[in-house]
Structure 1
Amino acid sequence: MGTAAAVTFRDATDADVDALVDLVESAYRGDSSRTGWTTEADILEGQRTDRQGVLEVIATPDSRLLVVERDGRVVACCHVEHRGSHAYFGMFAVSPDLQGAGLGKVVLAEAERVAREGWGATEMHMTVISVREDLIDFYVRRGYRRTGRMTPFPYGDERFGVPQRDDLRFELLTKELG
């Protein structure tokens, strides 16, 4: 049975905050993240998120922070926010020991379904650090397109990490939701 099998989705509650912070940090920061391919350990040190950041996402109106569980364990999460005709996708994390086995595709598809069926969104937007070519390629294979529209990385705001290079920025990716 593949790792994407037998997962359940539910909305996050305040009781999930510690598990979600741990999950996001494990997927993107430090040595634990290096076992998966989504690591940002070589470009960013410090934190990816914190309790306050996750609580703010949970409390955001017109949004859902989806928790993905398998066998009672939190294995992935993502944030979907309704922004008019489109939805925004973020805070996407898959446990490093389960990456590369299809779970991310399942979570992304569920987020797209939520946006389309729950809010009638016709497009999904996300931003990805532009130097993360492997991650951008993952999304392009799922139907997202690069827009070339860049926004600056928040240098100096350590809530988002401590950059290890000076060329970081975010690129907007979009996908039409059929």
Structure 2
Amino acid sequence: MTASDTLRFRHATVADTDAIVALVESAYRGDASRVGWTTEADFLDGRRTGADEIHSFLAKPDSVILLGEREGAEGAIELLACAHVAVEDGAGYFGMFSVKPTLQGGGIGKRMIEESERIAREDWKLPAMRMTVINVREELIQFYLRRGYARTGVFKPFPYGDARFGLPKRDDLSFEVLEKRF
């Protein structure tokens, strides 16, 4: 049985903040992130998220942080993945998607995406899901295209100078908007 087979979903609470920050940081920043394929360590330093951002997401209406967990050794619950799902501009928004680096490629991400899309489509009755991906992450963009997302041709500027989004190591970053219609 794989981690994907035993994955359980729930919505985060403020009590989950430290675990979420640790998971997101491990998936995107520093040497720990290099174990998986989602690392941004080659073009961004600094933080990926913080308690302030988590609390903001949790306080907004029509906004949840979806957690993917499993029962671990001796009944302890282990956080394997998370994603921020919200209503934004008449569609679902999918972001802060993180899977524990040592478990990437095992189907957990696919299940998280499917549950996030279900929330947007069935719970919130939205016509589409959108996300932004850093433009230089072509492998990641291809991952989403294989899951039914399409390039919209819309790009948003990277927030250079705002350390809450990381410390860029290059000057050509932007966010590409991807969309999946339901």
Q: TM-score band (shorter)?
A: over 0.9
Write the deviation string for residues 15-40 of structure 1: whole angstroms up to 9, x where unpaired: 00000000000000000000000000
Write the deviation string for residues 54-73 of structure 1: whole angstroms up to 9, x where unpaired: 11111111111111111111
Match of 2:87 in 1: 82
- Offset, 1:84: 5.5
1:145–1:174: 8 Å Cα contact kept in structure 2? yes
Structure 2 counterpart of 1:91, from 82, 93, 96: 96
Q: Work out whether 1:140 is the aligned partner of 2:145.
A: yes
TM-score normalized by structure 2?
Answer: 0.95
Residue ranges of structure 2 left out of the alignment (5+ in a row):
72-76
CA distance in 1, matches of 2:27, 2:88: 26
CA distance in 2, matches of 1:100, 1:51: 27
The secondary structure found in structure 1 opposite 2:111 is: helix
Percent identical among aligned pairs is: 56
1:127–1:170: 8 Å Cα contact kept in structure 2? yes
- Offset, 1:113: 0.5
Residue ranges of structure 1 left out of the alignment (5+ in a row):
none
- Offset, 1:2: 2.1
Spell out the pairing of 1:1-178 with structure 2 (5 A cutoff): 1-71=1-71, 72-83=77-88, 85-177=90-182
1:81–1:87: 8 Å Cα contact kept in structure 2? yes
Q: Which amino acid aligns with 2:167?
A: V
Aligned residues: 177
CA distance in 2, matches of 1:29, 1:85: 31
Q: Which amino acid aligns with 1:152?
A: P
71-80 or 28-37, larger mean C-alpha shift = 71-80
- Offset, 1:3: 2.3
